[in-house]
Amino acid sequence: MSWLLLNSAGPHGAAGSPLSAPMQIILLLTLLTLLPAIIMSATPFLRISIVLHFLRQALGTQTAPSNQVLIGIALFLTMLIMQPVATEMYEKGWAPVEAGQTTWQNGLDEAAKPLRTFLLRFTREKDIALFVELTKQPKPRTPADLNLTILIPAYILSELKAGFQIGAVLYLPFLVIDIVVASVTLSIGMIQLPPVMISAPFKILLFVLVDGWNLVIGSLMKGLLQT
């Protein structure tokens, strides 16, 4: 917090700083309050967490890995993906405001540009058109004219669709194992033992043999970094 106070001298801040220390603290606390919602909805955290949840359900391991582990994996992968975007937002937005080179309004506009570019890479035109229609706003002439209040909800819908699509594909091979095991157990009359208990070791063994974690995480990261 000391770097905030160094930029102020008196009640209205230093001569080169457009924001006083109290205003900077208020903005910082506001951002910290909104940070969890921003991370969960406006970053790849949404897609990654959905895919990992589907994967755990498909394996049938119930609580292994635990929710905390899955959230931790999703969070660190999100940080890796969003680091270049966050750095660009800081350099174009906050750094000039901190140096007194521009106003905070212009700083926010400049900081939003890298985020808008990132979100547009993964947002479907159909979802954007939906929210433009719902808000009854004029159609933007270029993608750069899109408001974040429209782009972020559209991005959420697109990521939900992508996450569920990937999750469904992950489910298929494990579903085949469940069907085969259920058919075999019923044919030999093993109705006392649930088929899920028998198929779980086979699904875990298959996942380990194909190095499933490497494949799943690698495919997710390549899709998010190279798109």
pLDDT score for 155: 92
Task: Give CA–CA dist 61/79, Å, rounded.
Answer: 27
More confident residue, 30 or 190: 30
Among the residue ranges 102-111, 142-151, 153-162, the one predicted with the least confidence is: 102-111
| Whether 153 contacts 36, CB under 8 Å | no
Task: Determine the average pLDDT of the residues in 165-187.
Answer: 84
pLDDT for residue 4: 35
Tell me: cis bond preceding 140? Omega within 30 of 0 counts.
no
Query: For residue 19, what pLDDT band results from cuts at 50, 70 and 90?
Result: low
Q: Which of 119, 170, 168 is nearest to 146 (CA)?
A: 119
Report pLDDT for 158.
Answer: 92
The residue among 29, 26, 24 whose CA lies nearest residue 6 is 24
- The reported pTM is 0.76
Judge whether 56 and 65 are in contact, CB under 8 Å.
Answer: yes
Pairwise CA distance, residues 48 & 53, whole Å? 9
The distance from CA 165 to its chain's CA centroid, rounded to whole angstroms, is 16
CA distances from 224 to 120, 125, 184 (A): 12, 18, 40
161: tokens are 């669709």
Q: Which residues contact 132 (CB under 8 A, 6 or more apart)?
A: 139, 140, 150
Given its phi and psi angles, is residue 13 left (phi above 0), alpha (psi -120 to 50 degrees) or beta?
A: left
Residue 9: pLDDT over 50: no
